């Protein structure tokens, strides 16, 4: 069996991902005369997905993508933004969790929630003043995990949002169907003093 790099997309993974890829969007362009067949062709979806996985696994900047292996970093980033807006990554996460639940089983009996502040704002609409850093702008990531540490929900807020005020929102943001707790199968939530 051939070993692949952590950023390479196997045929097996691609078969699971391909049905979730959103259809290409038509870009509004100025009206002008163009020769038939002129212009750039859309990038193959698999090549785009491989570029996104490469950036996420290596941590490189979009513009540092190896151009011979992928398309330009700005083109891959544009697709990344379009797919994020279309909800592709949430669907991919939910599909992965559903498969994980079938394979290993989500441990609903003990769940844990916590939050962390960051300086780099991943989403401008969720940026707020950071009360612990002299009012600098920042975000807070609230996360819920199962008994094994598998992420079930993530909510972004401004850095000034207290964790207690966001617990209900985090619990409502679980991307798979949560079973109802019963006396035989209770569900517990762990949180720190914040």
For residue 134, the model assigns a pLDDT of 55
The per-residue pLDDT for 43 is 85
* Matching residue, tokens 């097996």: 12
- Rounded to an integer, what distance in angstroms lies between the CA atom of residue 110 and that of residue 190? 7
CA distance linking residue 44 with residue 41, whole number of Å? 9
**Other Cβ atoms closer than 10 A to 110:** 14
What does the domain layout of the chain look like in residue ranges?
Answer: 1-16+42-86, 106-177+185-191
Q: Provide, rounded to the nearest whole percent, the portion of the chain with pLDDT above 90.
A: 40
CB-CB neighbours of 76 under 10 Å: 22
Q: Beta-carbon neighbour count of residue 161 at 10 Å?
A: 20
Burial of 94 by CB count in 10 Å (0-12 exposed, 13-18 middle, 19+ buried)?
A: middle
Residue 90 has pLDDT above 50, yes or no: yes
Q: How confident is the model at residue 121 (pLDDT cuts 50, 70, 90)?
A: very low
Any bridge partners for residue 139, and if so which?
118, 158
3-state secondary structure 128-157: EECCCCCCCEEEEEEEEECCCCCEEEEEEE
- Would you state the pLDDT for residue 169? 93
CA separation for the pair 87, 132 (Å, rounded): 33
Contact by Cβ (8 Å): 143, 113? yes
For 190, the 3-state DSSP assignment is strand
Q: Which two tokens stand for residue 50?
A: 């491989």
C-alpha dihedral sign at 179, 84, 154, 4: positive
Full-model pTM: 0.75
Give yes or no for residue 147 having a pLDDT over 80. yes
Kindly tell me if the per-residue pLDDT of 18 is higher than 90: yes
For residue 36, the model assigns a pLDDT of: 67
87-93 long-range contacts, CB within 8 A, separation 24+: 87/22, 88/20, 88/21, 88/22, 90/175, 91/20, 92/17, 92/20, 93/175
| Range ranked top by mean pLDDT from 1-5, 89-93, 127-131, 190-194 | 89-93
């Amino acid at each position: 069996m051939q070993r692949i790099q952590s950023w390479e997309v196997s045929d097996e993974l691609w078969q699971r991902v391909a049905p979730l890829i959103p259809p290409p969007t038509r870009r509004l362009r100025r009206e002008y005369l163009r020769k038939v067949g002129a212009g750039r062709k859309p990038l193959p979806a698999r090549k785009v997905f491989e570029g996104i996985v490469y950036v996420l696994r290596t941590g490189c900047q979009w513009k540092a993508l190896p151009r011979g292996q992928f398309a330009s970093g700005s083109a891959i980033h544009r697709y990344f933004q379009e797919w994020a807006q279309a909800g592709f990554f949430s669907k991919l996460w939910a599909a992965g969790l559903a498969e994980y639940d079938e394979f290993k089983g989500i441990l609903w009996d003990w769940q844990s929630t916590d939050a962390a502040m960051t300086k780099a704002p991943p989403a401008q609409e969720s940026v707020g003043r950071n009360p612990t850093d002299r009012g600098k702008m920042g975000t807070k990531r609230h996360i819920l995990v199962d008994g094994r540490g598998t992420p079930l929900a993530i909510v972004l807020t401004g850095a000034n949002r207290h964790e207690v005020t966001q617990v209900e929102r985090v619990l409502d943001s679980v991307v798979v169907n949560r079973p109802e707790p019963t006396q035989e199968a209770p569900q517990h939530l762990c949180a720190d003093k914040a």
